[in-house]
Amino acid sequence: MQQRAFKQVDVFTATAYRGNPLAVVLDASGLSDDVMQQFAQWTNLSETAFLLPPQSDEADYRVRIFTPGGELPFAGHPTLGSCHAWLEAGGKARHREFVVQECKSGLVQIRREGKRLAFAAPPLKRSAPSAALLPQVAAALALKSSQVVAAQTLDNGPVWTGLLLDNPQTVLKLSPDHLALKNLGVKVGVAARYEDAANTADAPLLEVRAFAAVSGIPEDPVTGSLNASLAQWLIADGHMPTRYLAAQGSCLQRAGRVHIVQDAGGQVWVGGESVTCISGTVTL
């Protein structure tokens, strides 16, 4: 065991303790999978990131991402939080405008937008949920069929059952049966549009919640991978504009803000600010 540089950062917020916390071990060289998993269980955060030298010549650094329940091939808030921590610790990117992160699912480009970072949403595979699964998910959420506007299975590394609901208040009032969702073996993301909201830079147009008991996280405060896949789906199907702000974490007394932009080439970018809350060392 040795002392390793460590940070805990809050992601998708400009105000500390109002976003989604991430533990970052800045040099995980030599750590086994079991040690990484054990530490992720100990932090008891939705994700813990371990930074390593890249294996790809195109990448600036490599990250491995663990939940309390296992490793993820990609996740959004660890992508932005890891990049923030890496840059703050003196990381130097090959390119001035962007950083290239290597993770299990491949290379992810992260562009710098002042204080904000934004990652390029990975390619999305989506399909209709199975006819048998959707009613069971709705029942676990105590939803009526009339409250579900649309549904998709969303896969950009993590797999989510995505539900577009009729009203943001429906989203905010949900009290899920987390054990039922865990037994179904699915992660569920729900969202609804504020139909009467002005689409401005500081007014949320979409309310989002993420339920992931199957990964050991009953509700995730702010979820980059889910917001990425929701954006790709909802923009493509005409439910959302090509630029908007999403709110997540309200029911957990957080105020996460996720900036979504689809550029002229069709690439969706998922952005947010990060704040360092703890800097020090960890013995691993």
Q: How many CB atoms lie within 10 A of CB 143?
A: 19
- Residue 69 has a pLDDT of 86
What CA–CA distance (Å, rounded) separates 195 from 168? 9
- Residue 149 has a pLDDT of 97
Domain with CATH 3.10.310.10 in the chain: 3-120+272-283, 125-266
Judged by DSSP in three states, 10 sits in strand
Pick the CATH number of 125-266 from 3.40.190.10, 3.40.50.300, 3.10.310.10, 2.60.40.10: 3.10.310.10
Tens of each residue's pLDDT in the chain, 284 residues:
899 999 999 999 999 999 999 999 999 999 999 999 999 999 999 899 999 999 999 999 999 999 988 999 999 999 999 999 999 999 999 998 899 999 998 999 999 988 899 999 999 999 999 999 999 999 999 999 999 999 999 999 889 999 999 999 999 999 999 999 999 999 999 999 998 777 777 899 999 999 999 988 899 999 999 999 999 999 999 999 999 999 999 999 999 999 999 999 999 999 999 999 999 999 99
Phi and psi angles of residue 141, each rounded to the nearest 5 degrees, phi first? -100, 0
- Residue 110 has a pLDDT of 98
> Quick check: is 58 catalytic?
no
- Residue 197 has a pLDDT of 72
CB 88 within 8 Å of CB 276: yes
CATH number of 3-120+272-283: 3.10.310.10
- Residue 113 has a pLDDT of 87
- Residue 196 has a pLDDT of 78
| Active-site position among 47, 102, 207, 273 | 47
What CA–CA distance (Å, rounded) separates 66 from 153? 22
